[in-house]
Structure 1
Amino acid sequence: MLSIAGTDPTGGAGTAADLKSITAAGGFGMVAVTAVVAQNTHGVSDIHIPPAQFLAAQLRAVSDDVELEAVKTGMLGTAEIIEAVQTWLSAHPPRVLVVDPVMVATSGDRLLEPEAEQAMIRFCSLATVVTPNIDELAVLTGEPRAHDEDEALAQAARWSEATGVAVVVKTGHLDSREVTNTWIGTDGARHPVHSTRVDTTSTHGTGCSLAAALATRLGAGEDPATALAWVTDWLHEAILHGAELQVGSGNGPVDHAHRARRLAAAGSAAPWVAGG
């Protein structure tokens, strides 16, 4: 399972979150780095984007040696980077391609220049499934931002029908106590997975994590409904316990490994009854 994305030195998002998510979802993670990002739990302070030729060299190095079950893309950054990834994919089409179309931040700020944004919209048409946030869904469809879940689902369904690409609609950025991730299939089928909102600031990297884990489960052969249900439940637990990590003083990361540690503790053979 290959992640094509930018870095996060504090480990909460980008390739760091992708690798943790892939491992948690049962896969073996590999990465090709699109951007070296200086950031922490308070935000991004600088970005260095290596030449697109170097990204192409990374991708060739992986595909020349490894058979990939799935690919997930995150931050691509520029039109040149998007073109390099698209060229590589045309020569090495994966069975599963999950695109997290990183175009709009949680704050609502646009993250791409107009040329790169249009390139990203075109790139999304190559995906098996895209996982936009509510603002990115609006950019993708060319429609106003959805105000509620019904509007978002309708937007996604229209775009999916037009492109032949599935969409996961995430309602985490809407104002509701219940949070739903819904798979909108190209055949019009809908597979909603319900969860509850967690009152926490430890949500850094949730979009990266969901997309990477979903790609891993799909790549392993799970059907969309089963894969999305597993990912949603796992990520809910990771968000619920993220604050316990005490990483940084801003918007902290989720705890990708909480489920694994919980299951390991539950399966431990260590004696728990005190001796007499």
Structure 2
Amino acid sequence: MIQKKYRYPSVLTIAGFDGSGGAGIQADIKTISALGCYATSVLTALPIQNTTGVKSIFSIPEEIVEKQLQTILEDIFPDAVKIGMVHTPKLVEIMVGKLKEFPPLAIVFDPVMVATSGHQLIENNTIQTIIKQLFPLADVITPNLDEAEILAGMNIETVKEMKIAGKKIMQLGCKSVLLKGGHLKTKQLTSLYFLPDGSIESFEFPKYETNNTHGSGCTLSSAIASYLAQGKSLLEAVSLGQKYIHQAIFQGKDVSIGNGNGPVNHFFNPQKLIKNEMDR
């Protein structure tokens, strides 16, 4: 038997497809790779989309998603999991049931409900199943304001309202919540991280004049998962993940790709795959 010395920190992304390359599973793989981790993937849906919006969505049969997940988990067991588009109750149940069969994992859930273009991407009857089954499993969920308004059942137009909404979402059974404030009509970007101990960390960044933010939520959640896979704490992973997406937006803000909302620059500072010594 060949003796091997190293392994890469591995991140599994469970998400939908984006043929334009800026969001979904493509953005996840780019992010995970750029941060020095090894990416594996399970495809949940096939949206037909480009930078101008989603044209239609085709489901992947649930049994195929389950077989994908089983096959990856039994061979390349990840250090962290990022979950994105989960659009049917049955798919949620399959995913949660399968993940519970294996040792506990660091899980980041990006509740993909609304695309950057404003298109709703999730079936309404799926939301309650997600709240009951997936929220308690995830270490952190990362809703944007559109998604937070759905989850909290309120309009959000100020940082004060973000705090109220975040507390409401935490009461749904979440371990922690990163509420992204990029849609606020302010000169700076404010995000709030609601920690398991009840405290709130505020993060502020300059806001850039650009529409190249397609897939920014996918990218952020994958970055957090990548840092968790590297052994960072939740708070550190959330902080580093936001710094990464902020720079990815800045470095790609003036680039022309497509006729709509362009992608961020995932590879502004690519890292080599991290080599961790294997336990003997």
Calculate the TM-score normalised by the size of structure 2: 0.87
Question: What is the CA distance between 1:145 and its match in structure 2?
Answer: 2.0
| Separation (CA, whole Å) in 2 of partners of 1:85 and 1:162 | 19
- 1:94-109 alignment to 2 at 5 Å? 94-106=104-116, 108-109=118-119
**Match 2:268 to one of 240, 246, 258:** 258
- Which portions of structure 1, spanning 4 or more consecutive aligned residues, are displaced by more than 6 angstroms? none
Question: What is the CA distance between 1:244 and its match in structure 2?
Answer: 4.3
Residue 227 (structure 1) aligned with residue 237 (structure 2): yes
- 1:43-58 alignment to 2 at 5 Å? 43-58=53-68
Q: Which amino acid aligns with 2:155?
A: R
**Match 1:163 to one of 173, 177, 180:** 173
- 1:131-146 alignment to 2 at 5 Å? 131-141=142-152, 143-146=153-156
| Separation (CA, whole Å) in 2 of partners of 1:40 and 1:29 | 23
For the 8 Å contact 1:160–1:185, the answer to whether it is kept is no
Distance 1:258 1:11, change over 3 A: same
- Largest Rg, 1 or 2: 1
Structure-2 residue corresponding to 1:239: 249
Q: Cα RMSD over matched residues?
A: 1.9
Question: What is the CA distance between 1:166 and its match in structure 2?
Answer: 0.0
| Separation (CA, whole Å) in 1 of partners of 2:76 and 2:130 | 26
- 1:32-181 alignment to 2 at 5 Å? 32-106=42-116, 108-122=118-132, 123-141=134-152, 143-161=153-171, 163-181=173-191
Q: Which amino acid aligns with 2:270?
A: A
Task: Report percent identity of matched pairs.
Answer: 35
Deviations 1:115-162 (A, max 9, x none): 112222222232111000112112223x21222112112221243255
Distance 1:244 1:107, change over 3 A: closer
Higher relative contact order structure (alpha carbons within 8 Å, sequence separation ≥ 6): 2
Deviations 1:209-255 (A, max 9, x none): 00010011122221233222222222112111224442212110000
| Number of positions where the alignment pairs a residue of Structure 1 with one of Structure 2 | 261
**Which one is further off, 204-213 or 214-223?**
214-223
For the 8 Å contact 2:140–2:174, the answer to whether it is kept is no
The unaligned stretches of length 5 or more in structure 2 are: 1-10, 273-280
Deviations 1:49-90 (A, max 9, x none): 121000000001011112211111101121222221111112
Aligned partner of residue 135 in structure 1, secondary structure: helix
**Match 1:207 to one of 207, 217, 227:** 217
Distance 1:23 1:248, change over 3 A: same
Distance 1:100 1:93, change over 3 A: farther
Distance 1:194 1:243, change over 3 A: closer
Aligned partner of residue 38 in structure 2, secondary structure: coil
Aligned partner of residue 29 in structure 1, secondary structure: strand
| Separation (CA, whole Å) in 2 of partners of 1:48 and 1:140 | 25
| Higher helix proportion | 1
